[in-house]
Chain A
Amino acid sequence: MVVDLSDAAVTNAVSRLAARVPGALYGFLGGSIVEGFANTTSDIDLLVVTAEPLAGLSIALGENERLISLEDNTVLVSWIGSTRVDVEIRQAKSVESRIVILQSEGPDAFLRAEFSDGWLEFFNDLRIGIPATGLEVLEQRRSDIPWDALSGLLLRRFEFAANSAIDDVAGAVEAADFGAAELSSRIALEAGIDAWLARNGQTNPKSKWRFSKLGRVTNGDRIIDRYWELLAETSENARDSALRRAEDRVYFAQDLLFETNSQARVEH
């Protein structure tokens, strides 16, 4: 059974976890459960933004808990009953500096290292998250963020990835390099679909939810069918057909990019 985030026992346990983070300003639940993509193995994602620097962050650990320091966040792995909870802790200064970049540069910041996949996931969670603590500060941060700029940044990122991969496929097909054509064409196809999804309001950048995201977007079904077809391996002469399949993937990616581009132009 998927965890019920409205259960009082869960809510209380989440609040206690958030309160253990020194300098916590605000916190919210995010991830697959909030997004509606969860299954019975899904864990709970609690995101907490602290005023404290992450280096030297000290949290007394209980039984079976771990604290993991990553490049720009720290994760407290804890448990509520048998359900794992990842408490992702980020520093307020880092969040605010990215908001300033978004406000000043908008989608043009799409290649900046500050917007790594992890940060894009964080902002998506911030957008959809269920408040857990510090509601007033959380609401203020949400209102500071130019969400259209963030969606535009994501769209530009995927378009760039798709076009780069398409160039790679063209070179690989020309050289009859079936391996490079196969791998690059998958990237082109997936980035093309992700661009289309971003254009249609899906700001969760996680690729593992691509089919789920397509399933909730109008007209996504026609893309699911073609995507599945283009992912499928052929049973005979797999190497010989790789170049042909690579071209088909690129054609579909280009069709999606054209559609995405046309929608964007019409609405702006």
Chain B
Amino acid sequence: MSHINLSSHAKRDLTARATTIAGRTYLSKGPSTYELGDIELAIWSRLDGRTSLEVIAGGIAQDFDAPETVIQTDLVEFVGDLEAQGLIRLVGAK
């Protein structure tokens, strides 16, 4: 079972950068890159280490008019991917 859940708090790695190339958005850190969709970019920008994933999911669901339960599942999976790529760090709740 994943150690990431809706009560987790994650913050962006300071050296990871989002850039747009030919209309597509990528996260890069060193030589590795990760492509982001619109919702993923919105999630990325909110990973400040202080806001729980549950709160972020609520905001995203509202902004993108999407079912919150679906967003919650996708968000936890996405954050897990980012952690595996070394693009975020999990922190204790602030």
Most B-side CB within 10 Å, residue of A170, A173, A250, A251? A251
For the complex, count residues of B whose C-beta is within 8 A of A. 16
Please tell me if B32 contacts chain A, counting CB pairs below 8 Å: no
From A166, A247, A255, contact of B49 by CB (8 A): A247
Binary flags per residue of A252-268, CB closer than 8 Å to B gives 1, else 0: 00110110011001100
CB distance from B28 to the nearest CB of A (A): 11
Please tell me if A248 contacts chain B, counting CB pairs below 8 Å: yes
Please tell me if A167 contacts chain B, counting CB pairs below 8 Å: yes
Chain A residue with the shortest CB-CB distance to B19: A261
**B residues 22-47 in Cβ contact with A at 8 Å:** 22-23, 25, 45
Residues of A within 8 A of B21 (CB): 265
Instruction: Say yes or no: A248-B45 contact (C-beta < 8 A), given A254-B17, A258-B19.
Output: no
Contact, CB under 8 Å: B14 / A169 = yes
Instruction: Say yes or no: A167-B15 contact (C-beta < 8 A), given A258-B20, A261-B20.
Output: yes
From A166, A255, A265, A266, contact of B14 by CB (8 A): A166
A261 to B94, CA, bound (A): 31
Residues of A within 8 A of B23 (CB): 265-266
Q: How large is the interface on A (under 10, 10 to 19, 20 to 34, 35 or more residues)?
A: 10 to 19
Chain B residue with the shortest CB-CB distance to A262: B20
Please tell me if B48 contacts chain A, counting CB pairs below 8 Å: yes
Chain B residue with the shortest CB-CB distance to A258: B18
A166 to B12, CA, bound (A): 13
Contact, CB under 8 Å: B45 / A255 = yes
From B17, B20, B25, B48, contact of A248 by CB (8 A): B48
**Closest 10 pairs (CB-CB, A-B):** A170-B14, A262-B20, A258-B18, A170-B15, A265-B20, A250-B14, A261-B19, A261-B20, A169-B14, A255-B45
Query: B interface vs A, CB < 8 Å?
Result: 11-15, 17-23, 25, 45, 48-49
